[in-house]
Amino acid sequence: MFTISDTLLKAISWTLVHTIWQGFVLAFLAGIVILTTKKATSLLRYNLLSGLFIAFIAVAGFTFNYEYQNENTESVTSLNFSIENMQSVWKVENGTVSNNLSVLVIDFLNENANTIVLIWFIIFCIKAFSITSNLSHIYKIRNYRNQPVSDYWKERLKTLSQTIHLNKHIVLLESQLVKVPSVTGFFKPIILLPIGMLSQLPQDQVEAILLHELAHIRRKDYFVNLLQSFAEIVFFFNPGVLWVSSIIKEERENCCDDIAVSVTQCKTRFVHALISFQEYNMKNNELIMGFGGKKNHLLNRAKRIINNDTKSLNGIEKTFLSIAVCAVIITVLAFGNSKMNPSENSFKEKRTEKTT
């Protein structure tokens, strides 16, 4: 029968705990990027934020390896400062040694590592099932209830691809299962358009929309979006990670908007295309990158294009980042970040006994 060692469970548990404050640090750094790049291009902001996001994932991996190695050497996870400061951690009351809050929290996390990992794993499986459903939906819309477009639009798509230096075969289909233009697939990308869109919208608006979708393909955004979806499932409990991921998605759309506008050389045309899709209800499928979005999101994209505005932090986001910074500072001051091994613990207890 398959069993998981206590060493692995404790390593996973402590990794999950550490990624909470690491996620707050990630959010704080992302906030600094947003505030200091108001005049920068969407591409620069996207690259910086994506770099921070990938760095966080790497740090989480190193954290797990560090915790696992420590558990293997039978060290006790602790966040105390030093031997000289142990009197602030261990107190003598009625001839016995008692733990302060930091030690109690650490003991609780060590003793309940199995429960923490079990709860996380159950929710993780539920979230992972949603990705399976999304993949099933993608397979369905790629292979069912769609039809090829006319030769004219096939040629136009090829021309537009060459315009943005995309040398790849792209399939363009009309689908009865999508409500907004969407691109799916990494190795064999397909652009799906709602049935009737080609005949209902002006040609210049359709071309602007196609340029946006082609930009996703040229930038290989489908792969990055898939990575984000996986990270959001693993760190579903982490508000900092979820917030930064949402900002990255916004900036990704802005990057593609900028590419489309640079080709069309007409902001008005692209804004009209955005407005035309406010009436569509985007199907909730995170693995498909659609042209449209929620009404407010489309409106913000239109304002950004017209006024050359970049995203700043609103009141709620500033409050969140302030709380995140305070939480990290309190955690560091309360617990520290060193390790205490059993021999040190025994030594300190003996010192305390002598004082009694």
β-pair type (289-290, 190-194)? unpaired
Please compute the mean of the pLDDT values over residues 98-106 and round it to a whole number. 64
Residue 322 pLDDT: 82
pLDDT band with cut points at 50, 70 and 90 for residue 123:
very high
Nearest C-alpha neighbor of 192 from the set 171, 218, 206, 162: 171
Three-state DSSP state, 277:
coil
DSSP conformation letters of 36-67:
H-TTS-HHHHHHHHHHHHHHHHHHHHHHHHHH
Residue 4 pLDDT: 66
Say what angle helices 113-143 and 101-111 make with each other, to 10 degrees.
Answer: 60
Chain centroid offset of residue 281 CA: 23
β-pair type (190-194, 171-175)? parallel
DSSP conformation letters of 288-315:
SEES---HHHHHHHHHHHHHT------H
Separation of alpha carbons 292 and 186, rounded Å? 20
Q: Which residues of 26-59 are buried (b: 16+ CB within 10 A; e: fewer)?
A: bbbbbbebbeebeeeebeebbebbbebbeebbee
* Average pLDDT of the residues of the chain: 78
Chain centroid offset of residue 64 CA: 19
pLDDT tens by residue, 33-52: 998 988 888 999 999 999 99
pLDDT band with cut points at 50, 70 and 90 for residue 102:
low
% residues pLDDT > 70 (the chain): 75
249, 31 Cβ separation under 8 angstroms: no
pLDDT band with cut points at 50, 70 and 90 for residue 288:
low
Instruction: For the chain, give the number of residues.
Output: 356
Residue 282 pLDDT: 44
Strand stretches in the chain, DSSP E: 90-93, 96-99, 146-148, 171-175, 182-184, 190-194, 289-290
Task: Kindly state the tokens that stand for 221.
Answer: 């955004």
Chain centroid offset of residue 201 CA: 34
Whether the pLDDT of residue 181 is over 60: the answer is yes
Q: Does an H or E element contain 206, and which? A: helix 203-218
Please compute the mean of the pLDDT values over residues 108-117 and round it to a whole number. 85
Task: Kindly state the tokens that stand for 105.
Answer: 């929290």
124, 233 Cβ separation under 8 angstroms: yes
| Number of other CB atoms surrounding residue 175 within 10 Å | 22
Separation of alpha carbons 346 and 356, rounded Å? 16
| Number of other CB atoms surrounding residue 285 within 10 Å | 18
Say what angle helices 221-234 and 42-72 make with each other, to 10 degrees.
Answer: 40
